[in-house]
Amino acid sequence: MAVDLTQRQPKKTYRGEGGASYEWSPADLPMLGVASIGAAKLSLAAGGLSLPSYSDSAKVAYVLQGTGTCGIVLPEATKEKVVGVKEGDALALPFGVVTWWHNAPDATTELIVLFLGDTSKGHKAGQFTNFQLTGANGIFTGFSTEFVGRAWDLTQDDAAKLVSSQPASGIVKLGAGQKLPAPSAEDRKGMALNCLEAPLDVDIKNGGRVVVLNTQNLPLVKEVGLGADLVRIDAHSMCSPGFSCDSAYQVTYIVRGSGRVQVVGTDGKRVLETHVEGGYLFIVPRFFVVSKIADASGLEWFSIITTPK
């Protein structure tokens, strides 16, 4: 089986005053298309707002850096949840969920969020397709003023003004005095798990630590259909060779640190031997065996597998 498992960094797809978006493409990382996995990153500057949108894919979001706010409207929900997020938080986002993300105006660091998800039911294998609710590319820009006016009980002139007055695309920077709903501790329950603070599933002295996302600590994982974990191994420690026994792909994003990775495939052939560092992503095919050894800096990675088990 000839496979290209070369690790890749994402490419920038949008840059504005409020921040930037990045994605990994199947053209650069073919295994994304093979595994029907999407991977993207969002980076928001101070005051940056990622406008409300929904996607054609179920995802797991992981906060790589910073603090901020996430607005979440679950399918058939009668109320929006507004969740405060910080580094280490993981959120399970099912099909049909509407989200927005905001970094505080006085933030000293960017808010950076990683998205990994299943695109098997999406428009493009290996890529997310997002639908903006508002802005220059918002879904209402495609409807006639008659439809928009009747939907919101507006005159056609007001409907035209409403739609045409939103020139921004995807990410904006809020002006002074513009406010968003405040996060609620109650809304956070069941929506986010901080992997840096959660009880450890594996704790090896001078070796490493693992936190696994499951239906007990993050119930929405079941609806998303993906499993996930955060693994941190110490300097010169090893994650022993292993494979997923339930026919799952493993998608790994290196959060920080560096180290060596080897992957062995069919007929005992080594199909990947590489040095990894923060910011890179690679995919391990079904039943292939992977092992990692950390450098002196240690190694930390966030992974999903294509099963919630």
Per-position DSSP letters for 101-131, written without gaps between them: EE--TT-SS-EEEEEEEE-TTSSBTTB--EE
pLDDT at 26: 94
Q: Which of 58-67, 155-164, 185-194 shows the lowest mean pLDDT across its residues? A: 155-164
Is residue 180 over pLDDT 80? yes
What average pLDDT does the chain have? 93
Share of the chain above pLDDT 90, in %: 82
Q: Which of 39-43, 81-85, 134-138, 145-149 shows the lowest mean pLDDT across its residues? A: 134-138
pLDDT at 79: 95
Q: Which residue has the higher pLDDT, 228 or 2?
A: 228
Name residue 116's beta-bridge partners.
Answer: 39, 60
Is residue 1 over pLDDT 60? no
Q: What is the mean pLDDT of residues 45-66?
A: 96
| Position 305 confidence tier, pLDDT thresholds 50, 70, 90 | confident
Q: What is the pTM of this model?
A: 0.95
pLDDT at 187: 96
pLDDT at 172: 92
Q: Which helix (H) or strand (E) holds 281?
A: strand 281-284
Nearest Cα neighbor of 227 from 240, 210, 239 is: 210
First-to-final CA distance of the chain: 27
Q: Which two tokens stand for residue 109?
A: 């660091």
Is residue 82 over pLDDT 80? yes
248-281 exposure pattern, b = at least 16 Cβ within 10 A, e = fewer: bbbbbbbbebbbebebbbeeeeebbeeebebbbb
pLDDT at 2: 65
Calculate the CA 23 to chain-centre distance: 10
Q: Which of 46-60, 175-189, 276-290 shows the lowest mean pLDDT across its residues? A: 175-189
Q: Which of 71-75, 84-88, 220-224 shows the lowest mean pLDDT across its residues? A: 220-224
- Sheet with 37-44, strands from edge to edge, namely 11-16, 19-23, 37-44, 111-118, 58-65, 89-93, 192-194
The CA distance from 193 to 209, in Å, is 16
Q: Which two tokens stand for residue 204?
A: 């090896």
